Amino acid sequence: MITYIQGNQARILSDLGQHVWLSLLPVLVGVVLALPAGYLTVRYRWLYQPVVNLGGILYSVPSLALFVVIPAIIPVGTLSPLNIVVALSVYSFALLARTVADALISVQGETTWAAAAMGFRPLRQLFGVELPMALPVMMAGLRVATVSNISLVSVGAIIGVGGLGDLFTRGLQLSYLAPIIVGIVLSVLLAAVCDSGIVLVQRWLTPWTRAGAR
Amino acid sequence: MPSKTKLAAVAATVAVLLPLSACGGNPTTAGSSGGSSTIAIGSANFPENELLAEMYAQALEAKGVTVQRHLNIGARERYLAALKDGSINMVPEYNGALLAALSKGGVVPKDINTADEVNQALKKVLPAGTEILQSSPAEDKDTLSVMPKTAGKYHLKAIPDLKPVAGKLVLGGPPEFAKRYQGVVGLKSVYGVVFKDFKPLDVGGPLTKAALTKGDIDVANIFSTDPAIRTDHFVVLADPKNLFGAQNVTPVIAKSKASSKVVSAINAVSAALTTKSLTKYLTEVQVDKKDPASVAKEFLDANHLD
Amino acid sequence: MPAPVVPMLNYFAYLFDGGHWSLAGEGIPDRLLQHIAYTLVTLAISAVIALPVGLFIGHTNRGAFLAINIGNAGRSLPTFGLLSLMVVLVGIGTLPVIVALVVLAVPPILASTYAGLRSVDRSAVDAAIGMGMRPMQVLFRAEVPMALPLIVSGLRSALLQVCATATVAAYVGLGGLGRLLIDGLSTNDYPQVFAGAVLVAVLAVLLDLLSAAVERAVVSPGVRERSVRRTRWRRARPDPTNEDAPTSPVGISG
């Protein structure tokens, strides 16, 4: 195994780099799209059920199918990594829209009434009161979305763009364990690093959850 | 720091990192936007083709051409689509198989047998804007192979021998084999051979070979350069009607990228390859598990092409 | 018809072709049944593994750290990687696929079983002990019924994930609806891939509806998850039991 790593450093590193980019960018896109969507379901409660249902259906479409069907819908080259990014953004959005909606709805209560009573306009209330309070739940959803994306990117190897998934197809083609193990270990490490990173950001952003904790 | 400011800080960092990571981390945007001296080389999803792509890529790099690699794209149906839309500019093909794939109904006329005849016919059906370069003497053909036991039991030496017994046998190969003329379709129309069942596995890879040795399938589609034929004593059935035709390694390239420098480098590689040497290098990749990039370098060194 | 509609209709060509729906041979019904089989077998095995462990850890609160971290680590294992590993180790067959899928399904079930048991009102448990119930009785007659919403939600979310991911089985030569995806992919046959995608999505939705019905039957009405919709209607009255913001991704599929 060591010989494999030594002999293939460049390829492993480039696969890892591609994997990082392919899994994190969709999460960001998903967040950017999910925040307004979640907010809208709070303002217009009738939107909640349709959004949740749509998210559920989108999430149940297999990733491989999305990777292949998307080039037919948007004019991206067959091999462009953008296929993966768009598909995973759809998944991230499906997951996060519901999380944001649930989180924002669950913080409605005395605090938001108090803020309204104090004269906070909706936007200031959103950014000053609701979002910070909803952060723990949203961060939890963010962690799930990130880890899930990291796992799904490797499926892209089946269509030739897969970051660390390349190591898995190589292992299958040659009946060779070393690349597969390297790929799994790196993938798990990447997920652990991203997960911890999000937890750290969450702690930094919400110090009140730790003060006076049981 | 009040949390509103912290939120803003995080949002700003993300907003800056997003486009940066997209630009920096993405060396493989739709290749056609590369400079005129950049060429995108693709390969099919099996080790030999990846090895060939590496050989051509490194030969070009030795001449100062920038190469983008898109390896392991998929079956021919997929990488041809990529070639047509410009995502890749060159792919190491096999002339006979390509002709069958591009001909109407996938049928190759009967009197086209030698490499030259195949190439002449091929030039008429290539996608617009592409051309073929010199064919290599190296050939890799599709075969139907069986275990020695099966060959002995049914007295199988050539594909026509399968006709009376195929109804009892299971065929295995890549999923696309079921729909190809140089596959299940042609086996029926040319030889009258119809199998009991077809199992979609992989492209002449470990799944197919394991299924053959275990007995999950009786006949397998394996490539003629596969070292396993020797090591596992597979019996390759002869193809008297030449259904699988001539299969010389023949690079297909977009005309816009076919500068004289590129063409001469590629032709040099093709000329230096023989079936025997291709088999030898493939063994190093498949059996010794060496990286295709280093095996390609070995080949280029041996032939003074870098 | 307007131009963009025609190509879209072509995508349905595979689904509308009656020949593909024949019961003989390897048509769509065959693939559907295989897919359902992989999904249900995986769920059964995962439940058998994860439920007892989750119940034990939740009831005794011992080994929680281990459970949660195994849960998280398991979720981060790439399924495709696991599948490749199993195939190279064990060879082709249903076993490697089921193992990879079970590893995918155990973490959500384990996590929500533990979360469910931890969320049970302590005073109810005390009351049960005070009534003289033995530990096993406390577990099954008091804790589990109250933890059921979360436990069932974990099972449902695992069900959906497995249903979507079982498509990779086709990459290593097996059947299921993934066969439509892989075969269509190999031959650039978009209608076939589209058919596979639509069928898996529809199957997932049906399974979800079915499991929702099971949940309604099994979970006692008084205990049904204090869902978001409840909070909506209760705005007029402050809710004393809604102490701090929930920190576990409850109710989020996958």
How many domains is chain B built from? 2
Q: Check if the beta carbon of residue B137 is closer than 8 Å to that of residue B168.
A: no
**Record: contact A173-B202, CB cut-off 8 A:** yes
| Partner-chain residue, chosen from A24, A25, A78, that has the shortest CB–CB distance to B81 | A78
| Candidate from A116-120, A205-209, C132-136 with smallest mean pLDDT | A205-209
Q: What is the distance between the alpha carbons of residues C164 and A91, in angstroms, rounded to a whole number?
A: 12
- Is pLDDT at B23 greater than 60 in this prediction? no
**Is residue B18 very low, low, confident or very high in pLDDT (cuts 50, 70, 90)?**
low
pLDDT at B51 over 90: yes
**Which of A48-52, B251-255, C150-154, C156-160 shows the highest mean pLDDT?**
B251-255
Range of the domain at B199: 142-236
Domain boundary among B210, B236, B262: B236
The answer as to whether B275 is a domain residue is yes
Inform me whether the pLDDT recorded for A129 exceeds 90.
no
CA separation for the pair B295, B157 (Å, rounded)? 34
Using an 8 Å CB-CB cutoff, list residues of chain A that contact chain B.
4, 7-8, 11, 14, 17-18, 20-21, 24-25, 28, 76-81, 127-128, 131-132, 157-161, 166, 169-170, 172-176, 178, 201, 204-207
Rounded to a whole number of angstroms, the distance from the CA of C85 to the nearest CA of chain B is 13
Q: Say how many domains are in chain C.
A: 1
Q: What is the pLDDT of residues C132-183, one digit of tens each?
A: 888 888 888 888 888 888 888 889 888 988 998 898 888 888 888 888 888 8
Q: Do C200 and A62 count as a contact with CB atoms less than 8 A apart?
A: yes
Does residue B253 share a domain with residue B134? Answer: yes
One-letter identity of residue A153: V
Report the gap between the CA of C214 and the closest CA in chain B (Å): 37
Whether residue A180 and residue C88 make contact (CB cut-off 8 A), yes or no, is yes
User: Is pLDDT above 70 for B26?
Assistant: no
Contact A78 B293 (CB under 8 A): no
pLDDT above 60: residue C238: no
CATH of the domain at B150: 3.40.190.120
Q: Are B158 and B276 members of one domain?
A: no
Q: What pLDDT shows up at residue A83?
A: 83
Please give the average per-residue pLDDT across A152-163, as a whole number: 85
Q: Which of B179, B199, B201 sits opposite C187 (nearest CB)?
A: B179
Please give the share of chain B, as a percent, with pLDDT higher than 90.
44
- pLDDT tens digits along B141-166: 899 999 999 999 999 999 999 999 99
**Amino acid B97: pLDDT:** 87
Cβ distance B81 to A132 less than 8 Å, yes or no, reads: no
Same domain, B262 and B117: yes
Query: B230 and B155 in one domain?
Result: yes
Is residue B18 one of the residues assigned to a domain? Answer: no
Residue C226 has pLDDT above 60, yes or no: no
Q: Is the pLDDT of residue B34 over 50?
A: no
Q: Which residue has the tokens 């906070």?
A: A120
pTM: 0.82
Are residues B133 and B263 located together in one domain of the fold?
yes
Nearest to A172 by CA among B176, B186, B205: B205
Provide the residue range defining the domain that includes C116: 29-226
CB proximity B289 to C under 8 Å: no
CA distance A148 to chain C (A): 7
- Which residues from chain C sit within 8 angstroms of residue B179, using beta carbons? 187
- The answer to whether residue C77 sits within a structural domain is yes
Q: What integer pLDDT is reported at residue B66 of this predicted model?
A: 92
Q: Can you tell me the mean pLDDT for B76-91?
A: 88
Q: How many CB atoms lie within 10 A of CB A25?
A: 25
pLDDT of A93 reads 92
> Which chain B residue has its CA at the smallest distance from A68's CA?
B78
Q: Which residues of B touch A (CB under 8 A)?
A: 3-4, 6-7, 10, 14, 18, 21-22, 25-32, 42, 45-47, 70-74, 78, 81-82, 85-88, 202, 205-207, 210, 285-286, 289-291, 293-294
Q: Which of B110-119, C136-145, C199-208 has the highest mean pLDDT?
A: C199-208
What is the percent of chain B with per-residue pLDDT over 70, rounded to a whole number? 88
* Predicted local confidence at residue B17, as pLDDT: 65
Chain B residue with Cα closest to C173: B201
Neighboring chain C residues of B211 at a CB cutoff of 8 Å: 92, 173
Of B47, B70, B207, the CB nearest to A79: B70
B134 shares its domain with B146: no
Span A50-62, mean pLDDT?
A: 83
For residue C38, the model assigns a pLDDT of 93
- The enclosing domain of C167 has a CATH number of 1.10.3720.10
- What single-letter DSSP state applies at residue A129? I
Handedness of CA C48, C53, C59, C64 (dihedral sign): negative
Residue A73 has pLDDT above 70, yes or no: yes
Residues of chain B contacting A166 with CB distance shorter than 8 Å: 72
At C15, the pLDDT band (50, 70, 90 cuts) reads confident
Tell me which chain B residues have a C-beta less than 8 angstroms from the C-beta of C182.
175, 200
Question: Does B28 sit within 8 Å of A79, measured CB to CB?
Answer: yes
Q: Is residue C154 part of a domain?
A: yes
Closest alpha carbon to C176 in C31, C57, C23:
C31
Residue B71 domain-assigned (yes or no): yes
Confidence of residue B29 (pLDDT cuts 50, 70, 90): very low
User: Is B131 in a helix, a strand, or coil?
Assistant: strand
C69 within domain boundaries: yes
Does residue C105 contact residue C46 with C-beta atoms inside 8 Å? yes
Q: Do residue B273 and residue B126 come from a single domain?
A: yes
Which pLDDT score, from 0 to 100, does residue C129 have? 87
pLDDT value of position B220: 94
- pLDDT grade, residue C229 (50/70/90)? very low
Q: Residues of chain C whose C-beta is under 8 A from some C-beta in B?
A: 87-88, 91-92, 170, 172-173, 179, 182-183, 185-189
- Asked if residue C116 belongs to a domain, the reply is yes
Q: B18 or C129, which is more confident?
A: C129
Residue with tokens 């690349």: A179
- Together in a domain, B45 and B124: yes
Residues of chain B with Cβ-Cβ distance to A34 below 8 Å are none
Shortest distance, CA C4 to any CA of chain A (angstroms)? 10
Which pLDDT does position C244 carry in this prediction? 37
Residue B44 C-alpha, separation from nearest chain C C-alpha, in angstroms: 11
Q: Show which of B236, B266, B290 is a domain's final residue.
A: B236
Taking 80 as the threshold, does the pLDDT of residue C2 lie above it? no
**What pLDDT, on the 0 to 100 scale, is given for residue B32?**
41
Strand B235-236 vs strand B249-254: parallel, antiparallel, or unpaired? unpaired
Q: What are B97-107's pLDDT values in tens digits?
A: 888 888 877 67
Give buried/exposed letters for B233-243 (b at 16+ CB in 10 A, else e).
ebbbbebeeeb
**Would the pLDDT of C106 be above 70?**
yes
The two beta strands, B130-132 and B249-254, are antiparallel
Dist. CA B46–CA B43, nearest whole Å = 8
Q: Look at residue B71 and tell me whether its pLDDT is greater than 80.
A: yes
Write down the H helix ranges in chain B: 3-24, 47-62, 76-84, 95-102, 115-125, 148-154, 186-191, 206-214, 228-231, 260-272, 275-286, 292-302
Question: Is the model more confident about B270 or about A62?
Answer: B270
What is the reported pLDDT for A141? 87
Q: How far apart are CA C253 and CA B38, in angstroms?
A: 45
State the DSSP H helix or E strand holding residue A24, giving kind and residue range, or none if neither: helix A9-43
Beta pairing partners, B238 = B158
Co-location of B151 and B223 in the same domain: yes
Is B26 part of a structural domain of the chain? no
Share of chain A above pLDDT 90, in %: 22
Mean local confidence (pLDDT), B57-61: 93
Q: Do B6 and A204 touch (CB under 8 A)?
A: yes
Angle between helices A82-106 and A9-43 (to 10 degrees): 40
How many other C-beta atoms can be found within 10 angstroms of the C-beta atom of residue B280? 15
Nearest CA in chain B to C25: B197
- For residue A45, the distance in angstroms to the closest alpha carbon of chain B comes to 26
> Residue B78 is nearest to which of C91, C179, C188, comparing CB atoms?
C188
From chain C, pick out residues whose CB is under 8 angstroms from the CB of B210: 91-92
Query: Domain check: are B52 and B191 in the same one?
Result: no
Residue C17 domain-assigned (yes or no) = no
Q: Is A4's CB within 8 Å of B289's CB?
A: yes
- In whole angstroms, give the CA distance from residue B89 to residue C199: 36
Average predicted confidence (pLDDT) for chain C? 78
pLDDT at C36 over 80: yes
Q: Is residue B186 part of a domain?
A: yes
We report the CATH number of the domain holding residue B283 as 3.40.190.10
pLDDT digits (tens, 9 = 90+) for A3-40: 788 777 888 898 899 999 999 999 999 999 998 888 88
Position C251 in a domain: no
| B196 and B62 in a common domain | no
Confidence check: pLDDT of B56 > 90: yes
pLDDT, one tens digit per residue, over C39-80 is: 999 999 999 999 998 888 888 877 778 777 777 777 888 989
Stretch B170-198: mean pLDDT: 90
In this structure, are B295 and B222 located in the same domain?
no
3-state DSSP of chain C = CCCCHHHHHHHCHHHHCHHHHCCCCCCHHHHHHHHHHHHHHHHHHHHHHHHHHHHHHHHHCCCHHHHHHHHHHHHHCCHHHHHHHHHHHHCCCHHHHHHHHHHHHHHHHHHHHHHHHHCCCHHHHHHHHHCCCCHHHHHHHHHHHHHHHHHHHHHHHHHHHHHHHHHHHHHHCCCCCHHHHHHHHHCCCHHHHHHHHHHHHHHHHHHHHHHHHHHHHHCCHHHCCCCHHHHHHHHHCCCCCCCCCCCCCCCCCC
Average pLDDT for C91-119 = 87
Of the candidates B142, B136, B100, B133, which has an alpha carbon nearest to the alpha carbon of residue B118? B100
Please report the domains of chain A, with CATH numbers, ordered by start residue: 2-207 (1.10.3720.10)
Q: For B227-241, write each residue's pLDDT tens digit.
A: 889 888 999 999 888
Predicted pLDDT at B15:
66
